[in-house]
Structure 1
Amino acid sequence: MTLSQFRITRFQFARDRVIGDSQVRVDDVNVAALELISDSGAVGLGFLQTLFSPLPDQGEIEAVFEREVWPGLKGHKAIALVHRVNRPRGGNQRAFSLPFAEAVQVALWDLAAKESDLPLHVLLGSCRNRVRAYASGLDFHLSDDEFVALFKHAASLGYEAFKIKVGHPDFSRDICRLELLKSCVPAGSKFMIDPNEAWSSKEALMKLEAIRAAGFDLLWVEDPVLRHDYEGLRTLRHAASWTQINSGEYLDVQGKRLLLDAFGADLLNVHSQVTDVMRIGWLAAELGIPVTLGNTFLEVGVHMAAALPEVEWLEYSFQNFDHLVEQPIEICGGYAYAPDRPGHGLVLSEAARETWARPQRLARSELGAAPHNPRLPIFGRVQ
């Protein structure tokens, strides 16, 4: 059951709402599905994504993958590759020309679990099949009315914890957003904020105290200061003892290790690279630091969340990706459920391949109407 083929399908479509934070704004989806195929016919699926510019044409993506990635995969067993430790040095220490790393890890683990006839979370050692999910708006660029509609709808679906984007140059707007959130979700809900590194450490402390004085208790503040400001993060942990510091989102494995060594986080934020998440998750457990799963493409992170016992929360951001797969991850009553199907349980939709595949790069004006996420009310596309 060795790797014998690969297939790449390029997608490009509009988002059904603008997403973003204090630093970025994103209107379109630019992804490609990577399918790794074994000689037994089993398929492992992963996705690569760019946020700010379209991927190159599909032919170019395939050529780069075949040149830079495929030689290290072809003829090997997926289960062996996911456990391999490489020691790149010198000029060999570099990223791929396109963002293949996450897609490869997810596809290999999917294939390894399928060939073991196990759900991925079981292969990773889980003792449960669900984890609490919180509603994350990616809402910085939404109008107040759109903001309220999103979170009111999320509350109606059973979410009990909500994360909003802050870090506006006018701090009163951040306070206003918290007041709007409080007005549209049930009393007793848990609130989190994410400035996306908009503040300095002293500024963060002053604003956190102002938020508390305004009557808002926060479960956590995420990435309040620069990612490598380990001293500032550690200082905030001690100075703002009434909330938690959630950090690590923007750091690679080495950076996350340094963050843990510096005790700069109450919660370690991880994402989609399965091997990396499990390795750093084990280290975090050794230090008694809980892990949270940030946004993962199509919520595949539920498998790692279920397998790491100290994970309490998984982020769900209502993005319009569900049409890309036959059966998306189930999220119900404020919990995300890891599928009991072999692998990670996500299979590329043939209907999506036929309808939404875009082998050639399109101009934004050619994208047309956005596919809608049925888990959300309809938003007008923000131009």
Structure 2
Amino acid sequence: MKVTGYRSRTTAHDWGRLIGDANGVMPRTRTDVPVLILETDVGLEGVGLGPHGDVERVFGAVDGADPRAAPALYDRMLNQVFKTGHAGATFGTVGALDMALWDLKAKAADEPLWRTVGAADRFVPGYASGLDIALDDDALARLYERFAERGFTAAKLKGGHDVERDRRRLETVREILGHNTSRPALMVDANEAWNRAQAVRFVTALERTVDLTWVEEPVRRWDAAGLAAVRHGVRAAVATGENLTGLEQFRPLLDADAVDVVQVGSVWGITHFLRTAAVAHGRDLPVSPVAYHANPLAAAAAAVPNHLSCEVQDFTWPIGLTVDQEIADGGIVLGDRPGLGIEVDEQRLAPTRAPRSATGPHVRPDRAGLRLVPDP
């Protein structure tokens, strides 16, 4: 079997609500989902999800190769771009290609990916995460009631502007999830909106009444000293890593003892997740996949010994995709469809990519981390 080509498509996910974080809110309820389809000479096709704008530059590393050598091809892709670097958008392209290669590897074996990577159990524990900063209190409660109905006992809320608003919202979700457990796990995600002093003050204020399991990305992703300062200044664990584009970017954080929960973004590929999980395991640290795009890392998460919990952001799938997963029992139940379990109906995909919004959570505000008091 050889890789012979690719097709790049775009679809959308309709959240049915506005989503965002401390940096901003998306202007529409639909967001783009890039889809990469790898073709082979035997008719099998592999699916990768996530931005892949550098695919023309990177594809040569896998063209003509047997996709069953996915880990080796991952290194070949990194080698292909080593002079210019693989961080950022290029790493997303590597991740999408890697995901599609693993999808093909499992399809060639006629088994679901969770079997291919060695998992014994199809269930992946998860936590609820509604990207909910734009929701008013009533809408927030309705959303997390839906998560509670599916058995969730843990939730992560977006916050970081107003400590009293965040406290009220966390207490609301604590009460809702309290129907499933006497001690819900509650997390808050600041998405790099604070400096280290702000982070300690904000989290310490919350912790007067709320037992936080972790605080996520309290300061900039690369600020090892800042993350370590926050870690030693609050009771909650510090979680970070979803925006680190390469295994080497974790090294300063781990050396500084700056992270308690090692996170991995869902769009960076299967190989990156497996390697990051192994490095974290060597430090006795748990690993947690972050973000959505049909939960492609869930299959790999089922196979690693130090998986903690997988972020679950919604109950439905992008338009034109059917995904062999069930959101139930407080997590993800993986199916038996070969590969990632994702089928693509290209007739239903969006024909063109929507223009990139100039506002939203992907745009860092000018005064982020530079405010004397949080924004109301």
Q: What TM-score, normalized to structure 2?
A: 0.84
Q: Bigger CA drift: 32-41 or 4-13? A: 4-13
CA distance 1:143–1:235, change in 2 (3 Å) = same
1:307 aligns with 2:309: no
**SS at 2:192 equivalent:** coil
1:78 corresponding residue in structure 2: 67
Amino acid at match of 1:73: V
1:90 corresponding residue in structure 2: 83
1:322-333, aligned counterparts within 5 Å?
A: 322-333=318-329
Partners of 1:73 and 1:234 in 2: how far apart? 39
1:39 corresponding residue in structure 2: 41
**SS at 2:323 equivalent:** coil
Question: Which one of 332, 340, 345 corresponds to residue 336 of structure 2?
Answer: 340
1:202 aligns with 2:194: no
1:277 aligns with 2:280: no
1:181 aligns with 2:173: yes
8 Å contact from structure 2 (residues 159, 189) kept in 1: yes
8 Å contact from structure 1 (residues 248, 259) kept in 2: no
**SS at 1:278 equivalent:** helix
**SS at 1:277 equivalent:** helix
2:155 corresponding residue in structure 1: 162
2:131 corresponding residue in structure 1: 138
Q: Flag structure 1 segments of 5+ consecutive residues without an equivalent.
A: 51-60, 365-383
Deviation of 1:189 (Å):
1.6
1:68 aligns with 2:63: no
Q: Deviations over 1:87-135 (max 9, x none)?
A: 3443465766795332211111100111123321222222322121111
8 Å contact from structure 2 (residues 14, 318) kept in 1: no
8 Å contact from structure 2 (residues 241, 265) kept in 1: no
CA distance 1:221–1:354, change in 2 (3 Å) = same
Question: Which one of 227, 234, 239 corresponds to residue 233 of structure 2?
Answer: 239
Aligned pair count reads 344
1:280-299, aligned counterparts within 5 Å?
A: 280-299=276-295
Q: Deviations over 1:289-310 (max 9, x none)?
A: 1101111410111112111111
CA distance 1:325–1:262, change in 2 (3 Å) = same
8 Å contact from structure 1 (residues 130, 338) kept in 2: yes
Deviation of 1:212 (Å):
1.6
Partners of 1:297 and 1:91 in 2: how far apart? 27
8 Å contact from structure 1 (residues 135, 317) kept in 2: yes
Deviation of 1:222 (Å):
0.8
CA distance 1:181–1:9, change in 2 (3 Å) = same
1:217 corresponding residue in structure 2: 211
1:263 corresponding residue in structure 2: 257
2:93 corresponding residue in structure 1: 100
Q: What TM-score, normalized to structure 1?
A: 0.82
CA distance 1:151–1:205, change in 2 (3 Å) = same
8 Å contact from structure 1 (residues 290, 311) kept in 2: yes
Q: Bigger CA drift: 327-336 or 88-97? A: 88-97
Partners of 2:124 and 2:31 in 1: how far apart? 27
Supply the RMSD in Å over aligned alpha carbons: 2.4
Partners of 1:71 and 1:95 in 2: how far apart? 19
Percent of aligned positions with the same letter in both sequences? 31
Q: Flag structure 2 segments of 5+ consecutive residues without an equivalent.
A: 357-376
CA distance 1:271–1:94, change in 2 (3 Å) = closer
Amino acid at match of 1:109: W
Amino acid at match of 1:309: P
2:2 corresponding residue in structure 1: 2
CA distance 1:361–1:234, change in 2 (3 Å) = closer
**SS at 1:68 equivalent:** helix
8 Å contact from structure 1 (residues 16, 320) kept in 2: no
Q: Bigger CA drift: 20-29 or 83-92? A: 83-92
8 Å contact from structure 2 (residues 9, 351) kept in 1: yes
